[in-house]
């Protein structure tokens, strides 16, 4: 088993990986524009009306989660392929199902006017007060089911490949090294992270699919009712796990690219293995932090949600930060767009976790939860963390998997993205501090200043993202044939 991760024979991306990234880039830009439109509506600069706002909010929420999953899967698949035999056909099948799902969702929302948010909370999809009909809700939910099915197939293939190579998932997580002291280092970080993601996401997707099926039956046979609290638990379990898994897939870019740049290995020592095993368990039990306001929930579950919220993200975040800093320190690394974006992503991820820990505290949650504080938290770690990792990976491929000095426009876009991204997320956090509710199409005059400043920052973020995506799309040929 190789400890060194920078000795891969081939580094060029397959057409499948490029198709994933081009799709993710295109959908990302569109969803960012929808996000800007929402902010402009709240700022009362444009007026699209509340119904349109909630349609865009639904599309933006689900679309961005999808983009994150697609980008993360591309990173995971690209690097995991060095160690195990993955099926290219299933990889493509997932993309096809994804795009089919996107079409159904777009039709359900833009034509059918479904606007029940990406969290499709029961019983809202079936009780629209005349805004949309059951078929629109069904299109949205079937679209989600298709997307979930695609990812499930992908993860089953990952499981098959990992078990084929390492014997069992426990081995792939490095348990013999962690618990039995067999050798100093476990499987490569990419293998460990992929194993974690496949375990938690398979459970998450199956829960999501089961509640979607129940709700689809309920739409057409309303006598088949569902316990709303059970539904909420299943939905948030699925949602929490699925969006969290995206960052554990994307962080593989950090584990693979920084070692290549610094010519230093990133070994999976015991601390690393322990962090991933801990997170594998914790990410499953943490989701009640979304239900802290539901008084009908058993008290012990809420306390568990609070306590685990403090613990969950930290182990992997800390070992990754520590690993990244030690690997960079005195390595003489030459900075370029890929390594710069990856370093920014570490910062964005860490910064985004802080407001989450604050909000995961029950007494604070009762005041903050339905405010813009929460979008402030997740936009920080998703936009400046997760999406920055995807952009870093795009540059890495676009540069032929080599270090390439960044040009003026790229550099300018980098700093614009970082600065405006922070300004944009701070505007959400400040809104939260001033008790501005989230998911409101109409804002009070006192709140408009935040909305307007945020709109300017959002426009700058979009311009920078456009540069990143166009740069990548124009260098697909280099990305295909890259060499280390």
What does the binding site for ligand HEM look like in residue numbers (CB under 6 A)? 32, 35-36, 38-39, 57, 60-61, 64-65, 67-68, 117-118, 375, 379, 382-383, 387, 438-439, 458, 461-462
Contacts of 4 (CB under 8 A, 6+ apart): 259, 265
Q: Which of 59, 41, 37 is nearest to 107 (CA)?
A: 59
CB of 374 to ligand HEM, least distance (A): 8
Contacts of 111 (CB under 8 A, 6+ apart): 136
Q: Exposed, middle or buried, 93 (CB in 10 Å: 0-12/13-18/19+)?
A: middle
Cβ closest to Cu ion, residue 257 vs residue 282: 282
With CB cut-offs between 5 and 8 Å by kind, which of Cu ion, ligand HEM, none does residue 240 bind?
Answer: Cu ion
CB of 28 to ligand HEM, least distance (A): 7
Cβ closest to ligand HEM, residue 261 vs residue 373: 373
With CB cut-offs between 5 and 8 Å by kind, which of ligand HEM, Cu ion, none does residue 35 bind?
Answer: ligand HEM
With CB cut-offs between 5 and 8 Å by kind, which of ligand HEM, Cu ion, none does residue 18 bind?
Answer: none
Cβ closest to Cu ion, residue 264 vs residue 369: 369
**What is the pattern of x (binds Cu ion, CB under 5 A) and - over residues 132-161?**
------------------------------
Taking CB positions, which residue lies at the least distance from Cu ion? 240
Cβ closest to Cu ion, residue 58 vs residue 365: 365
Contacts of 461 (CB under 8 A, 6+ apart): 32, 383, 416, 417, 420, 421, 424
Alpha-carbon gap, residue 304 to 166, rounded angstroms: 33
Candidate residues 113, 240, 260, 264; the one interacting with Cu ion per rule CB under 5 A: 240
With CB cut-offs between 5 and 8 Å by kind, which of ligand HEM, Cu ion, none does residue 379 bind?
Answer: ligand HEM
Alpha-carbon gap, residue 118 to 235, rounded angstroms: 10
CB of 253 to ligand HEM, least distance (A): 15
Binding segment for Cu ion (CB under 5 A), chosen from 121-129, 235-243, 369-377, 407-415, is 235-243
- The answer to whether residue 232 forms part of the interface with Cu ion (CB under 5 A) is no
Cβ closest to Cu ion, residue 42 vs residue 365: 365
Cβ closest to Cu ion, residue 240 vs residue 471: 240
CB of 408 to ligand HEM, least distance (A): 23
With CB cut-offs between 5 and 8 Å by kind, which of ligand HEM, Cu ion, none does residue 362 bind?
Answer: none
With CB cut-offs between 5 and 8 Å by kind, which of Cu ion, ligand HEM, none does residue 60 bind?
Answer: ligand HEM
Q: How far is CA 465 from the centre of its chain?
A: 17
């Amino acid at each position: 088993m190789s400890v060194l991760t920078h000795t891969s024979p081939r580094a060029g991306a397959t057409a499948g990986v490029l198709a994933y990234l081009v799709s993710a880039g295109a959908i990302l830009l569109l969803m960012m524009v929808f996000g800007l439109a929402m902010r402009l509506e709240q700022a009362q600069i444009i007026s699209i009306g509340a119904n349109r706002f909630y349609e865009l909010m639904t599309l933006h929420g689900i679309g961005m989660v999808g983009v994150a999953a697609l980008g993360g899967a591309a990173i995971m698949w690209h690097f995991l392929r060095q160690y195990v035999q993955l099926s290219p056909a299933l990889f493509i099948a997932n993309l096809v199902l994804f795009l089919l799902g996107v079409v159904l969702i777009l039709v359900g929302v833009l034509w059918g006017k479904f606007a029940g948010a990406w969290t499709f909370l029961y019983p809202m999809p079936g009780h629209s007060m005349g805004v949309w009909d059951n078929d629109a809700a069904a299109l949205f939910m079937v679209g989600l089911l298709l997307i979930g099915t695609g990812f499930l197939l992908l993860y089953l293939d990952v499981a098959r490949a990992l078990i084929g190579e390492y014997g069992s998932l426990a081995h792939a997580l490095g348990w013999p090294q962690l618990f039995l002291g067999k050798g100093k280092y476990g499987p490569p970080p990419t293998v460990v992270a992929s194993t974690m993601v496949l375990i938690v996401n398979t459970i998450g997707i199956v829960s999501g699919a089961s509640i979607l099926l129940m709700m689809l039956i309920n739409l057409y046979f309303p006598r088949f009712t569902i316990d709303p609290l059970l539904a909420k638990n299943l939905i948030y379990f699925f949602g929490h796990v699925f969006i969290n898994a995206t960052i554990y897939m994307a962080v593989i870019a950090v584990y693979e690219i920084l070692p290549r740049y610094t010519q230093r290995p990133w070994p999976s020592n015991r601390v690393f293995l322990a962090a991933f095993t801990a997170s594998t368990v914790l990410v499953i039990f943490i989701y009640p932090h979304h239900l802290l306001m539901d008084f009908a929930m058993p008290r012990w579950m809420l306390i568990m949600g609070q306590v685990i919220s403090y613990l969950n993200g930290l182990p992997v975040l800390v070992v990754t930060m520590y690993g990244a800093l030690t690997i960079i320190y005195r390595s003489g690394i030459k900075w370029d767009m890929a390594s710069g974006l990856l370093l920014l992503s570490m910062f964005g991820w860490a910064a985004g976790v802080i407001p989450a820990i604050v909000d995961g505290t029950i007494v604070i949650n009762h005041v903050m939860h339905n405010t813009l504080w929460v979008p402030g938290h997740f936009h920080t770690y998703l936009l400046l963390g997760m999406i920055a990792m995807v952009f870093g990976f795009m540059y890495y491929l676009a540069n032929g998997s080599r270090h390439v000095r960044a040009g003026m426009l790229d550099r300018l876009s980098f700093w614009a993205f970082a600065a405006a991204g922070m300004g944009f997320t701070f505007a959400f956090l400040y809104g939260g501090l001033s008790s501005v509710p989230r998911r409101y199409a109409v804002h009070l005059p006192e709140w408009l200043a935040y909305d307007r400043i945020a709109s300017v920052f959002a426009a700058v973020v979009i311009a920078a993202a456009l540069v990143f995506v166009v740069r990548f799309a124009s260098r697909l040929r280099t990305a295909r044939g890259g060499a280390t």
